[in-house]
Amino acid sequence: MRSDHDHAELNALAARIADHYRTDFMTPRLLTGYLRLVEFAVLAAIGSLFLVFYVETDTRLLWSYVAIILAGSTLGVLSINVVGGYRLSFLRRSMLAHWRVAAAWIAVIAGVTAALFFIYGSADHSRVFLAGWFVCGIIALSLIRVTLCSFIHKWARDGRMERRAVIVGGGRNAAQLIRGLEAQADSDIRICGIFDDRNDRRSPPLVAGYPKLGTIAELVAFSRRTRIDMLIVTLPLSAEKRLLSLLRKLWVLPVDIRLSAHENALQFRPRSYSFIGDIPMIDVLDRPLADWDWIAKRAFDFVFAFLAIAIMSPILLLTALAVKLDSPGPVIFRQKRHGFNNQTIEIFKFRSLRDEFSDPEAKQIVTKNDRRITRVGSFIRKTSIDELPQLFNVLRGDLSLVGPRPHALHAQSSRNETFTAIVDGYFGRHKVKPGITGWAQIKGWRGEIDQPEKLQRRFEHDLHYIENWSLRFDLYILLMTPISMLSKTDGAY
């Protein structure tokens, strides 16, 4: 049956705190990733400007200069990374630590100069080019970092750059963890509150100055309402049953789950821990598609969706015309569905049912030989052409090209059972954005849910996709989708 934490209501204090936090944010990993790209681009641009305005572009060494610029810019970023120049604590120091960045760039230019001497054995390459690139590179890197330092402090004050953490479990362990986190220098952790099912003296309403905001069921609702990056569980490893019960409720959330190890008597090898400052944590679950993975997938989605719309625009126009001529009613059907982190999204489809039988809430599942389906609707549903308008959902950011298929808010099987009643932990498939196509679809698990096993297999394939995501996996699924639509149509009607 559907558990309470799927629809728990927040108390007034928890709701007010959830609504307080900003929705625009910049995590440290995203920030340093962007900085690497910017500094590579700036170094390459400086080298290119010297090449265009000082070096003869028709020289026989043109491609050698291009290789120098690309290799030097790449090595510059790598060298700065080696000296710790992309750590958040380093970036906050402004000018005091810039000598390391300068030293890294000096080493790169010296290495490039030495390589040119050994490869060419002459002074064919411009010394002014190398000297100008070196000096302007140092100036540019320093200006970028001075500017960024001021922004970092501003973002930290505004709450834009932080990792939001919730403490799971109250009492003495939680108090010690909170004090330890607050003692960390340059910490980016923002503690949002405490959640615990216990209401006795072991879990008081206020722990180390932070309020207890509710139960574990309310924690799930809280994480749906605002962005949370990390859940830190303070239970000891000896509380095995309670720990497993907690994780069973929390794993459906798209967050990092860490087990605080600062009070555990059982010690592991250092490599078994991750650290927040000096505080050891045991990694239980990692959020899928975090930071740069999310950016890579979003870029992949946008580019391929734009190309798909451009290439298939004749099919889109002809289908729209056919739907309009076949039966009265709108061409596009809109339906509310579950999106990322259980948020409600509105998806677009070509209308395939007669307008008077439209079922936006999906209360009646479409079955074989369903009389509500139009003539054009039967064809476009079987070939999945009715899904093509969702390419515009991808451009809007509601959907991904590849991911678990979004189900209607009140989706039911043909036996009138809700999906959450059939599959335990069903909402775990919402830890990533839903997609137009997915691993389950190309494996034939699409269409009517007339047996519980079909939904279970679809759910298992969705989890496999989430746990094994890569851009190559996405590309493979996209390439296999047309083949699957033609060869596996038994469940599509």
DSSP lists the bridge partners of residue 232 as 167, 258
What pLDDT is stored for residue 1 in this prediction? Answer: 37
Per DSSP, the three-state class of 286 is coil
Report d(CA 260, CA 282) in Å as an integer: 6
pTM: predicted TM-score of the whole model, two decimal places: 0.73
Largest interatomic CA distance in the chain: 83
DSSP lists the bridge partners of residue 190 as 164
**CA 201 to each of CA 172, 180, 207, 217, 399: distance values in angstroms, whole numbers, following the listed order:** 11, 22, 11, 20, 46
Report d(CA 370, CA 353) in Å as an integer: 9
Both structure tokens of 82: 């080696």
Domains of the chain: 4-25+162-285 (3.40.50.720), 28-158 (no CATH), 292-487 (no CATH)
What pLDDT is stored for residue 247 in this prediction? Answer: 83
- The kind and range of the H/E element at 164 are strand 163-168
Of the candidates 193, 201, 227, 250, which has an alpha carbon nearest to the alpha carbon of residue 8?
A: 250
Tens digit of each residue's pLDDT, the chain (493 residues): 344 445 567 888 888 888 877 666 677 777 888 899 999 999 999 999 988 888 765 566 788 888 899 999 999 999 999 988 888 778 877 665 678 898 999 999 999 888 877 776 556 677 888 889 999 999 999 999 888 888 887 887 776 777 889 999 888 888 888 888 888 776 778 888 899 887 777 778 888 888 888 888 888 889 888 888 899 998 776 677 888 888 888 888 888 898 887 665 555 555 557 777 778 888 888 888 877 788 889 999 999 999 999 999 999 999 999 999 988 989 999 988 888 888 889 999 999 888 877 766 666 666 667 788 888 988 888 888 889 999 999 999 999 999 998 887 766 655 556 676 667 777 788 889 999 999 988 888 776 666 778 788 888 899 899 989 999 999 999 999 888 777 655 555 5
What pLDDT is stored for residue 271 in this prediction? Answer: 55
What pLDDT is stored for residue 5 in this prediction? Answer: 45
**What's at 9, amino acid-wise?**
E
Per DSSP, the three-state class of 169 is coil
**What's at 47, amino acid-wise?**
G
Is 441 within 8 Å of 405 (Cβ atoms)? yes
What pLDDT is stored for residue 122 in this prediction? Answer: 56
What pLDDT is stored for residue 347 in this prediction? Answer: 92
Both structure tokens of 250: 């929390």
* Whole-angstrom Cα Rg for the chain: 28
DSSP lists the bridge partners of residue 280 as 275
Beta strands 332-338; 279-285: pairing state:
unpaired
What pLDDT is stored for residue 4 in this prediction? Answer: 42
Locus of tokens 């335990």 = 424
Report d(CA 52, CA 133) in Å as an integer: 13
The full DSSP string for 49-92 is HHHHHTS-TTSTTHHHHHHHHHHHHHHHHHHHHHTTTTSHHHHT
Give the burial class of 416: count Cβ atoms within 10 A of its Cβ; 0-12 exposed, 13-18 middle, 19 or more buried.
exposed
What pLDDT is stored for residue 133 in this prediction? Answer: 92
Please give the distance of CA 128 from its chain centroid, rounded to a whole number: 45
Report d(CA 484, CA 476) in Å as an integer: 12
Please give the distance of CA 422 from its chain centroid, rounded to a whole number: 28
Query: Phi, psi at residue 332, to the nearest 5°?
Result: -100, 135
Ordered alpha helix ranges (H), 334-450? 375-382, 390-396, 419-422, 439-442
Report d(CA 204, CA 193) in Å as an integer: 13
Please give the distance of CA 76 from its chain centroid, rounded to a whole number: 28
Of the candidates 54, 51, 93, which has an alpha carbon nearest to the alpha carbon of residue 68?
A: 51
Locus of tokens 């369903």 = 370
Residue 382: partners with Cβ closer than 8 Å, 6 or more residues away: 489, 492, 493
Report d(CA 222, CA 236) in Å as an integer: 24
